[in-house]
Structure 1
Amino acid sequence: MCAEWEPATSVLVRYPLGLPWNLLQSIADETPITCFVSSSNQSSAQSAFTSHSITNVTFVITDTDTYWTRDYGPWGVFDGNDNYGISDHVYNRADEAGREGDDQSSWDLAPALGIELWKTRLRHTGGNFMTDGHGIGFSSDDLYNYTVNNTISHDSVNALMNNYWGIDTYHTYPDPLGSYINHIDCYAKILSDEAIIVIKNGVDDANLDAIATQIEGTNNYYGRPYKVYRIDAPNSHDAAYCNSLILNKRVYVPITGYTSEDDSAIAVYERAMPGYEILGFSDGSFANTDAIHCRTMAIFDEGMLYIDHAPLLNQLASSPFYHIDVYIKPYSGSALKNDSLFIYWKLYGETVFNTVLLTNDSINYYSGNIPSQIDGSIVEYYVYAVDNSGRHESDPYVAPDGYYTFSVGDESPVISHQAISDYPASEWPATVSATITDDGNIGSATVEYMYNSVPYIDTMNNISGNLYEADFSVSVSIGDSIRYKIKAVDNSSKVSYFPDTGYITFHIIDKTIVGIIDLDVTALSGPFIKNYCDSIGYINQYMTSFSADLSQYVNIFICLGVYSNNIPLNSSQANAIVDFMNSGGNVYMEGGDCWCYDTNHSIYDNMFGVNPINDGGSISGNVSGVSGTFTEGMSFTYSGENNYIDKISSTGTGYMIFNEGSNGRGVANSTVLYKSVALSFELAGLVDGTAPSTRDSLLNAIFDFFEITSGISKKRDLKKEGITLNLKSNLIRDKLEVKYHICKSSDVNISIYNIVGKKVSTVFKGRSQSGSHLCRINGLNKLSNGVYFVHLKTDSETRTVKFELIK
């Protein structure tokens, strides 16, 4: 789905208007206007635009009810075949306020534009949605309460967002304002891949601060925390500074007439969006819940020249070059001009950019190296591309007026940390663990925290390499909260914090979040589930015997195996599961015989909503998810143990979530007391395809279904924590050990470069699953003594570590 800042061919408004003419004139100076109008109003609309000297306007005849084109207008997407079209939700106010005309308008717009329209049953509204264009979305969680949405599960809503708009990571927040509309564009604004505005309004600042802190702890598409900018938008002045419109190289901001506040808001935009022209407009009809963003909607360029690049962070002076990877996609279908694909770069204070020609690495992927610079340099750069359709674009989009910047030389320490989630009192004290790297040496690392309004500082010990740890030194009770941050100081007195601002908060709870009972003789799914929990920071306990006390867990995952490596439950264990569920515990259970064949299946089948059919046979076809459930869109081939797989159907409140042809293979159940998932196959036996048909995606959906976190956003934030790359030693004699950690499956390429930037060896090239990996390389005798660099590249990020070879 297109992000608001991507190239637009026009902006959609509606007549009669809800916008001042001076704003429309300013828009028309740079971008054509598309205007919804009824046939009865077309003549007066044409006269009105002409009288205000606006001629680049196209009218689309349709009968609308309101001027809020953002809420019911077109959500532009590119489908799997790179065709641009409209993925059209049902406007939520069509149900609530009788706005059927608004809801139907995209059906008239699509043929007028000559593009496709894909309709979904999902109720939504544009004012309550923003996206980065990379599959990450943001909304107030009120969307789950819209008519029809409230009759299906949150997982089904999320599945529709993924299937129709490509949103695979969806962050939702309780509305902080308590307003009637509950739209996210009343309090937040995404500005780029890496920056978001959150307002302060003088009334709801505690709620707004909590959301700002949560976003700051959320990683963006590039695996780095979002930069959050705050704007004072006084509720008493009806300020709506975040309800702005980003349109090509301009940003149109609603202002109030309170000069100092308006100037301050404009200044924040200018600081956050260098190179954009920031323009303020006022109108007597603007309110803090309804301004420019609500009344406009971009129509994007269906042949856009798309550029994506993860901006470089600060670099070491010792680096032989600064490597830049770029994704370039000409949606026009025209070829790129390979002699016109450049990195433009210069040093701060210089007026002329140098150029580096990009080289083609693979389809749509390009790269180039900015030469090494001396310590203290500030490098400014942007990427530029041209295709044969005549389009030319830059990244950032506003270059050369705006560009990316990085510094060369001694850097502040870099802290990588998996935030602590709610922690069981029985396992206290919690350990704070962080990887802290620096181009010099770390002088000190500490945990600074608040407990019962009293500040504490605990020293972190260097465990090994770049790993630092500390246990909290205070005693706690169930229900307590701790707010903490990590501080690192290097020997040059450079200081870093994690998070950059604010604190991470967690609560002391009385139970372990996830218990994994793995009785399977061959132990396949249990370790997979544990690795998933570890990778996203969930407190879990892995057991190979049945726990004597299930009450210490909130959720239990039970793996029983497939004949002849399965273990049946005895009656005591079966009844313990039933008691656990009746006490409010969620249960996932998988097993080939546990639903029909095992002696005690009748004790728990009804609790899982399972109707046993027969002992079954082997799985021969695809295991497919069920439409309208959290498995919608999933389809797997199966390669696990495959004997006498029980056939099941649903009963009571249970419902099917997996079928293999006409054979039922999975049931979910949602009751007022508990939720459950029952599978007759091994999760680890599923073969990963493309999202959402991956085991990680399935576990992600099950965890969301169980509501293991306080919100969808929290877990997925943790999951996209980025990558780490470490060497056992930076002084190498005869063998090299490369340890890396990735938090989602990715293609991985690890190479060694010499001091002049020439690749001398490929360490690893292939697909890696999420988690930690170790590569051992012997035979470095072919390389001469000297300085080398290990360069790791994944689908979305890169890391480089220096080492010295001494033989």
Structure 2
Amino acid sequence: MKKRLAAEWEPIKGVMIAWPAFLPHAYIVDLTQNYHVYLCVPDQREEDNARKHLAQWGANIHNITFCHSPQGFDTPWVRDWGMHPVFDEFGNFHLAGAEYQMSTPFVAYENPEVMFDWQNQPLSPTSYEQEEDKAQPMIAEQIGQPFEKLPYALTGGNIMSDGFNKMMSMQVILTENRAKGISDEQFYAGVARDTGMGDYSVFSNFGDYGLQHIDCYLKIIDEETLLVSRPPKNHKLYQRYEDLLDKEIRKSRTRYGRPFKIFRMDIVPFNEENDDLTAYVNSVILNKSVYVPMYGISQDKIALQQWQEALTGYEIKGFEFEFAKEPAIIENRTGYTRTGWGTEDVAHCRTRAIWDENMLYIAVRRLEKEEPANQVLDIPVNIVDYSKAGLIEESLKLYYRNVGAMEWNCHPLEATNDRELFLGSLTGKPGDTIEYYVAAESKSGRKETMPRVAPKGTYKVHMK
């Protein structure tokens, strides 16, 4: 087994959010109806207040565990201070809490080493101590998962993982750690040691001023696919976004040594008072659904369509956040007016998954878009049963069919000398377009496919 930081699309058992809430109530209710929700509250009084409102909204109270812990200003942004999901080399799971005493700094594009707090005041490592730093081990204990403290900043909104060895962040992650006296080399070495992720790509910041978190610019949506934001051509940031993509991100390689497949997400200004851009990529993938912020503008519909094109078969859910319709929600915490969704702070920032420590993990080295016909094409498949209950051998299968056909064919996956590596194979005639997916089951009762939404979503290959 390999030590690794789980990816966002992997199996989860629940979702962590904070109360007092900074999410639309319909979003919170949906979470309670579809997942177990770990709701972080500061005390019994707020737990009682949450119970009252959740009952009024129609939430499933039985799907909620209330986690008591100290709260600071940043508590609603559970993505940033929340704990990272790490599987070690023995297949054991724990939550890793990064150092969070300095909050999440704002930086300017022209002067990226000077940090500011949310009130635009100069920020230093000794500015103040965050309550969220103290909350991490307390919440981990109440969730029932082991905890390890990390000695450096690893701000969650600025971290993307491919679930194997690849990490992506924007430059501000280095700025935060340099301010604490941690060199870039020490940071990379620490991350590799503590999370197993040794291929770390850090890209240039993209905004004029702000958090500069990667989850507001792009998202890794599977091991070989990125969803990257694209402003209108007449927007001041258009060329910067495109240069960042073409000159830096396209040079990055997947775990299989190939360029990432890239989908684009068109973003537009949503506020008449300025040219702040919609943060549609700052959505959150939870098992087989995607939760997307909606701004009450015509571009919302296009964003949902682009998400569906990027993640075929997933349920794409859009949520508006109008303060006028949210009587029990934190208002204007960051100066927002009409909507609670910002340009660098929306659904992903305020939601954090709790991963299944006994998950059935599958990763597929898919075929190229086009492959030669009349040849046996091998498809390597990594499968890890973290429950340690054992795989059900007869369940390990490759399903395939010509696009348009009604019935699926299947072949068993072949074992290899590596107990976590299996092989599937396909052969097609010239002109065939074949769709396929992999399935597995463990004796713990878990059943998984890859893609996770198969057969609604599949891999495809055209034979030439």
The whole-number CA distance in structure 2 between the counterparts of 1:49 and 1:392 is 32
Matches within 5 A, 1:179-194: 179-194=209-224
Which residue does the alignment assign to 2:245? 212
Residue 97 to residue 300, structure 1, CA distance change in 2 (3 Å): farther
The whole-number CA distance in structure 2 between the counterparts of 1:188 and 1:144 is 18
1:228 corresponds, among 255, 258, 262, to 262
Moved more, 18-27 or 397-406: 18-27
The whole-number CA distance in structure 2 between the counterparts of 1:309 and 1:242 is 24
Q: Is the 8 A contact 1:274 1:401 kept in 2?
A: yes
Q: SS of the counterpart of 1:91?
A: coil
Matches within 5 A, 1:429-440: none
Q: SS of the counterpart of 2:91?
A: coil
Q: Structure 1 stretches of 5 or more lacking a match?
A: 410-807
Report whether the alignment pairs 1:119 with 2:149: yes
The whole-number CA distance in structure 1 between the counterparts of 2:461 and 2:290 is 25
Q: Is the 8 A contact 1:215 1:228 kept in 2?
A: no
Matches within 5 A, 1:138-149: 138-146=168-176, 149=179
Q: Structure 2 stretches of 5 or more lacking a match?
A: 104-124, 270-274, 322-338
Spell out, residue by residue over 1:478-528, the C-alpha distance to the aligned partner (whole angstroms, 9 max, x if none): xxxxxxxxxxxxxxxxxxxxxxxxxxxxxxxxxxxxxxxxxxxxxxxxxxx
Residue 219 to residue 181, structure 1, CA distance change in 2 (3 Å): same
2:314 corresponds, among 256, 265, 276, to 276
The whole-number CA distance in structure 2 between the counterparts of 1:89 and 1:338 is 39
Which residue does the alignment assign to 1:57? 64
- TM-score of the superposition, structure 1-length normalised? 0.49
Which residue does the alignment assign to 2:450? 395
The whole-number CA distance in structure 1 between the counterparts of 2:260 and 2:425 is 26
Report whether the alignment pairs 1:249 with 2:288: yes
Which has the bigger relative contact order, CA under 8 A and spacing at least 6?
A: 2
The whole-number CA distance in structure 2 between the counterparts of 1:270 and 1:99 is 41
Q: SS of the counterpart of 2:461?
A: strand
Q: Is the 8 A contact 2:29 2:54 kept in 1?
A: no
2:15 corresponds, among 11, 15, 27, to 11
Q: Is the 8 A contact 1:197 1:231 kept in 2?
A: yes
One-letter code of the match for 2:306?
V
Q: Is the 8 A contact 1:243 1:294 kept in 2?
A: yes
Cα deviation for residue 12 of structure 1 reads: 0.5
Spell out, residue by residue over 1:368-424, the C-alpha distance to the aligned partner (whole angstroms, 9 max, x if none): 323x22210011100000110000000111111101000111xxxxxxxxxxxxxxx
One-letter code of the match for 1:317?
A
1:35 corresponds, among 33, 39, 47, to 39
Matches within 5 A, 1:294-693: 294-313=349-368, 314-319=370-375, 321-362=376-417, 363-370=419-426, 372-409=427-464
One-letter code of the match for 2:83?
P
Spell out, residue by residue over 1:223-270, the C-alpha distance to the aligned partner (whole angstroms, 9 max, x if none): 1101222222124364111110011001111121112x1122222211
The whole-number CA distance in structure 2 between the counterparts of 1:179 and 1:338 is 53
Q: SS of the counterpart of 1:311?
A: coil
One-letter code of the match for 1:81?
F
The whole-number CA distance in structure 2 between the counterparts of 1:237 and 1:123 is 27
Residue 234 to residue 96, structure 1, CA distance change in 2 (3 Å): farther
Moved more, 23-32 or 90-99: 90-99
One-letter code of the match for 1:241?
Y
Q: SS of the counterpart of 1:388?
A: coil
One-letter code of the match for 2:70?
D
Q: SS of the counterpart of 1:127?
A: helix
The whole-number CA distance in structure 2 between the counterparts of 1:155 and 1:147 is 11
- The percent of aligned pairs where both chains have the same amino acid is 31
- TM-score of the superposition, structure 2-length normalised? 0.84
1:70 corresponds, among 68, 79, 102, to 79
Q: SS of the counterpart of 1:221?
A: coil
Report whether the alignment pairs 1:89 with 2:98: yes
The whole-number CA distance in structure 1 between the counterparts of 2:434 and 2:177 is 52
Residue 243 to residue 92, structure 1, CA distance change in 2 (3 Å): farther
Q: SS of the counterpart of 1:122?
A: coil
Which residue does the alignment assign to 1:2? 6
Spell out, residue by residue over 1:253-305, the C-alpha distance to the aligned partner (whole angstroms, 9 max, x if none): 1121112x112222221111111111111211110011001101011000000
Spell out, residue by residue over 1:676-726, the C-alpha distance to the aligned partner (whole angstroms, 9 max, x if none): xxxxxxxxxxxxxxxxxxxxxxxxxxxxxxxxxxxxxxxxxxxxxxxxxxx
Q: SS of the counterpart of 1:19?
A: coil
Cα deviation for residue 96 of structure 1 reads: 6.8
Moved more, 301-310 or 268-277: 268-277
Question: Rg bigger for which structure?
Answer: 1
Cα deviation for residue 177 of structure 1 reads: 0.7
Q: SS of the counterpart of 1:67?
A: coil
Aligned residues: 406
1:171 corresponds, among 194, 201, 221, to 201
Report whether the alignment pairs 1:264 with 2:302: yes
Q: Is the 8 A contact 2:227 2:262 kept in 1?
A: yes
Residue 99 to residue 243, structure 1, CA distance change in 2 (3 Å): farther
Q: SS of the counterpart of 2:48?
A: helix
The whole-number CA distance in structure 2 between the counterparts of 1:255 and 1:98 is 34
Cα deviation for residue 205 of structure 1 reads: 1.3
Cα deviation for residue 322 of structure 1 reads: 2.5
The whole-number CA distance in structure 2 between the counterparts of 1:378 and 1:271 is 18
Q: Is the 8 A contact 1:309 1:325 kept in 2?
A: yes
Residue 140 to residue 37, structure 1, CA distance change in 2 (3 Å): same
